[in-house]
Structure 1
């Protein structure tokens, strides 16, 4: 199974529409890849909270339209990162979109843990409530977003729901880059899954982003890691390694709580 993580440089001098078109072209260039992953809130910028309300869109809005077409043209499963979703009833959500190779929107995930300590995202967005998995032909994805990484109980629930590969788009700040690496590896080890952690690059809204998207295997080894700039990370993965790891080192069997 081949996966490509698109670490996008979110430059707020670029319009949202232009960035959509640019990212769609990058997705289309990934033909032959099984799964493509984009970062958190790449259309607007994860820390540009003053634009969230103005740029919010429905699930059938412009970002979904453009990403649907790109997934269909490339023939890939596309985790299109996340958007600021405006629910018809009013609340905003940080919502991930997953498209099939036919361009159909197959699954959505509303971020459960909002960052900001009563400011920014935490003040402006409502929390999601559902644990979401996505069945692909060769594996089962478990969905989480950025700050969710700090809450291991969510990943236990994803494992219980059948997840074999954790996909985590993020807009993680550079000043906590080592936490990003640590948590990605910890979630892989404790869940005995692959972790595909896709971050953003550059600086926007005064915040330098961590970059360093990475793929971690079920033993916690970093298979591939990006730098700090815009980059495409493409890795060949063996989904059978998850089953083998859980068989050879059956730690999940010994759980006593939860």
Structure 2
């Protein structure tokens, strides 16, 4: 069972949802015939314009969901729609939407862990639901940026069968080494594929790392970007998940009596 995943790494227009929707649509239209699943970065509609999210964020995610479902169906492609700022009555959430190629919204996940070092907790509310879903016949899970520093959160999903981890991020360039190391570690310890889409470019306060990646269940990097705008694409074989877990039975050896 082979699938092709493309990560659309692009320079997000800071605080400009209209321009970002247009750009994402162009990229999706250009890449949809070359992949089964497309992945977008974190907060791709607004960028890291945290102070203005309560103004430029998407009310209940209506615009994003309508656009996503229409775009996925029109291009006959599954889309892991990165994440967007969603305004709700009780706060603004950093939310990932996922649609299948028929235009059905199949998952909504809000970032569980807020990165205090960059003041996310001052402008965003944390989610409380898991990121599990099924796509193209494969059990998967979605996570957002800082989430990858919490292996226990990732393991909760993979222990229930998730074999592909999708990550959307706006990861800063100074911590590029952490980005690469953490993603590879998450793949190895969970014996799963990792498809991670970061953004490129700069905003008024940050320079982003790029280096979107697709990693196999043994930790081999199948494809990796540099710092610039690009598409990172790799074909994965879902049979590799069971093969890796059969070689080293990590999940069978978990000491549930201890942890």
Q: Please indicate the TM-score interval, normalised by the length of the shorter structure.
A: over 0.9
Contact 2:73 2:102 in 1 (8 A): yes
Which residue of structure 2 aligns with residue 69 of structure 1?
70
Q: 1:102: Cα distance to partner?
A: 1.4
Q: How many residues align?
A: 254
Measured after TM superposition, the shift of residue 182 of structure 1 is 0.4
1:60 to 1:91, Cα distance in 2 relative to 1, 3 A: closer
Q: Is residue 71–residue 101 contact of structure 1 (8 Å, CA) maintained in 2?
A: yes
Moved over 6 A (4+): none
Aligned residue in 1 for 2:155: 156
After TM superposition, the score normalised by the length of structure 2 is 0.94
Give distance in 1, aligned partners of 2:207 and 2:4: 29
Paired position in structure 2 for 1:239? 238
Instruction: State the secondary structure of the residue aligned to 2:95.
Output: strand
Report the Cα distance in structure 2 between the residues aligned to 1:60 and 1:54, rounded to whole angstroms: 13
Matched with 1:31 is 32
* Match of residue 42 from structure 2: 40
**Gaps (5+ residues) in structure 1?**
none
> How far off its partner does 1:143 sit?
1.2
- Structure 1 CA distance for aligned equivalents of residues 16 and 126 of structure 2: 27
Q: Shift of residue 59 of structure 1?
A: 4.1
Moved more, 23-32 or 147-156: 23-32
Residue 57 (structure 1) shift: 1.3
The more displaced of 54-63 and 134-143 is 54-63
Cα distance in 1, alignment partners of residues 132 and 61 from structure 2:
21
| Alignment match, 1:93 | 93
Contact 2:57 2:87 (C-alpha < 8 Å) held by counterparts: yes
Q: C-alpha separation between the residues in 2 aligned to 1:31 and 1:130? A: 29
1:167 Cα deviation after fit: 0.2
Q: Is the 2:86–2:92 Cα contact (8 Å) retained in structure 1?
A: yes
How many angstroms does 1:92 deviate by? 1.0
In structure 2, the partner of 1:8 is: 10
8 Å Cα contact 2:213/2:222 also seen in 1: yes
| CA–CA separation in structure 1 for the residues paired with 2:135 and 2:71 | 18
- Aligned positions of 1:1-258 closer than 5 A: 1-12=3-14, 15-32=16-33, 33-45=35-47, 47-87=48-88, 89-117=89-117, 120-257=119-256, 258=259
Q: Whole-Å Cα distance in 2 between the matches of residues 237 and 59 of structure 1?
A: 34
Displacement of 1:66: 2.1
Across the aligned residues of Structure 1 and Structure 2, the Cα RMSD in angstroms comes to 1.4
Taking structure 1 as the reference length, the TM-score comes to 0.94
